[in-house]
Structure 1
């Protein structure tokens, strides 16, 4: 029907690359589950949940973890006993996998099961984020869930949140960040091309040193590179660095016009020498890093004393939060008090903080060691 999300493709119809992407996501989820008896429910307001639950059960079995796969949309009526005890598993004889051991993972799907957790709670809640399918739909935001998987493209799942209590972000950050941006690189400028004047204005306002070395960390498709070239002049050095190869491919046109070098690299471990740049431009970077303080410390490492840090986004924090359907929190990395604290702890002095609706703009100076 029109307006319904695309169905999940069968395994055999996926390309080799798409199959690897699904396997990687399922392996991340399976590895994050605690040891011992664990109950997992998968929801998201669409029929995708049952298919993903089946695939997770298959991944668990392939990894040697016993799995009880509960099927159907509604748990049994409450009888005062946990619905997942041995008696219930015997009653659920038509389910596909119902063995029980001290290390069994029980997997259910759907809002019916979500509302009726075993023993009072689910150990892990997985939310599938899909496009809105009707007026007022929120698209499956998954606030408060342990794991959020983006399924806007059913052939290309991406983990967008995995609770720290289950797994440190370092285990999944690299693969999931690259996967998220890889499929968006080719259309990024088409979707956000109107932001180019805002980038140019931010670079112009940053007062970067003529003839200096400036690096755009997380450069994406390179929208800031021409403006950075104009700022440092013909004798300066402009570098664009990004985590995602597809983004760097898309950045070649902007880089060519700006006579800029492009580097593949992780902002948490930059392939640049200590105190080797005069200025760092970072658009939308900090909120994508697992540890914003560690990221700021790495940016400080490569910047000469007195050098400049420019943090930018073409939407203000409040506008961006509203676009993504989430509340604006005072403890976010780019909120003024946390940012002033984190820059101060990592070798920077925050000079300016500006957060109107139309953009976010902050500058800091690298302190002497």
Structure 2
């Protein structure tokens, strides 16, 4: 399976790098060298004077630089993941779903063991977001379903709770929480959600939008399925600066969730930003559908 995973990623990289380009690598110190060796085995010139340059990634902005063809996650060298590709070189339709599922599928079974302490933070994020009782609340990218119980508490017995994720393994783990919360689970892609326009009163999205290849497109799709006046809760149980430091990176001021960026992006995609909190121990922003 590991060899097949490498074959998939190397095929994508050959298409993305083209005759020239930079491939940025996330992972341990030796990760860039490991990837370079794999590319050389495919007769791709990655020497210092060659056509393709492989180097460690230093910030999220690497994924937006004109010279960066692709970003590869080699946190686990036996399970590479393509995490970004220049859309002009390799359109997201060709790689994103496959790579995102590959990332989460192998982590689903141990996700709660690693992040189970975050449950109180999820509860606090929902309870402080003024979710309307009796409404339809949808957790987009629900993972193992950590937000489903507090969403049920927020909408009450008369409301509807739905969890959406595109990774079957995550939905399997979420099934227990879904049953306990009287929630429905749906397999679906956040970029093209299987709901009618104006379905939801509240959307919860934890650690989702910054990982999607076209963030304007994603926020517009979330707006499409939300009724006017409905809420969008963007959440992460760790603040941006804390998370960047944990991964050995500097904070990127041009990132979607930056205080000077998010209001404008939300405005042009159908939302008004109501509140913004980027504390060390959480990121929590609430938008309202225009």
The structure-2 alpha-carbon separation of the partners of 1:325 and 1:165, relative to structure 1 and needing over 3 Å to count, comes to: farther
SS of equivalent to 1:337: coil
Kindly provide the CA deviation profile for residues 167-218 of structure 1, in whole angstroms up to 9, marking residues without a partner as x. 3334322111111111111111100111000000011001111111000001
Q: What is aligned with 1:237?
A: 160
SS of equivalent to 1:329: coil
Q: Is the 8 A contact 1:278 1:308 kept in 2?
A: yes
Q: What is aligned with 2:10?
A: 26
SS of equivalent to 2:83: strand
The structure-2 alpha-carbon separation of the partners of 1:199 and 1:125, relative to structure 1 and needing over 3 Å to count, comes to: same
Find the aligned partners of 2:153 and 2:24 in 1 and give their Cα distance.
50
Find the aligned partners of 1:282 and 1:53 in 2 and give their Cα distance.
36
Find the aligned partners of 1:342 and 1:50 in 2 and give their Cα distance.
37
* C-alpha displacement of 1:163: 3.7
Q: What is aligned with 2:38?
A: 52
Find the aligned partners of 1:195 and 1:45 in 2 and give their Cα distance.
31
Most deviating of 154-163 and 315-324: 154-163
Find the aligned partners of 2:22 and 2:258 in 1 and give their Cα distance.
34
Q: Is the 8 A contact 2:126 2:151 kept in 1?
A: yes
The reply on whether 1:275 has 2:260 as its aligned counterpart is: no
The structure-2 alpha-carbon separation of the partners of 1:227 and 1:321, relative to structure 1 and needing over 3 Å to count, comes to: same
Q: What is aligned with 2:72?
A: 149
Unaligned runs of 5+ in 1: 1-16, 58-66, 68-105, 128-139
SS of equivalent to 2:125: helix
Q: What is aligned with 1:91?
A: none
Find the aligned partners of 2:228 and 2:76 in 1 and give their Cα distance.
45
Q: Is the 8 A contact 2:10 2:39 kept in 1?
A: no
Find the aligned partners of 2:22 and 2:199 in 1 and give their Cα distance.
48
SS of equivalent to 2:178: helix
**TM-score, structure 2 length as denominator?**
0.88
Q: Is the 8 A contact 2:136 2:159 kept in 1?
A: yes
**Rg bigger for which structure?**
1
The structure-2 alpha-carbon separation of the partners of 1:326 and 1:41, relative to structure 1 and needing over 3 Å to count, comes to: closer
**TM-score, structure 1 length as denominator?**
0.70
The structure-2 alpha-carbon separation of the partners of 1:334 and 1:342, relative to structure 1 and needing over 3 Å to count, comes to: same
Q: What is aligned with 2:106?
A: 183
Over the residues paired in the alignment, what is the CA RMSD in angstroms? 2.2
Match of 2:53 among 107, 125, 128: 125
Q: What is aligned with 1:107?
A: 45
* C-alpha displacement of 1:157: 1.4
* C-alpha displacement of 1:294: 0.9
Q: Is the 8 A contact 1:255 1:262 kept in 2?
A: yes
Matches within 5 A, 1:347-366: 347-366=270-289
The structure-2 alpha-carbon separation of the partners of 1:54 and 1:300, relative to structure 1 and needing over 3 Å to count, comes to: same
Q: Is the 8 A contact 2:137 2:201 kept in 1?
A: yes
Find the aligned partners of 2:221 and 2:24 in 1 and give their Cα distance.
37
SS of equivalent to 1:290: coil
SS of equivalent to 1:30: helix
The structure-2 alpha-carbon separation of the partners of 1:39 and 1:326, relative to structure 1 and needing over 3 Å to count, comes to: closer
Greater RCO (CA < 8 Å, at least 6 residues apart):
2
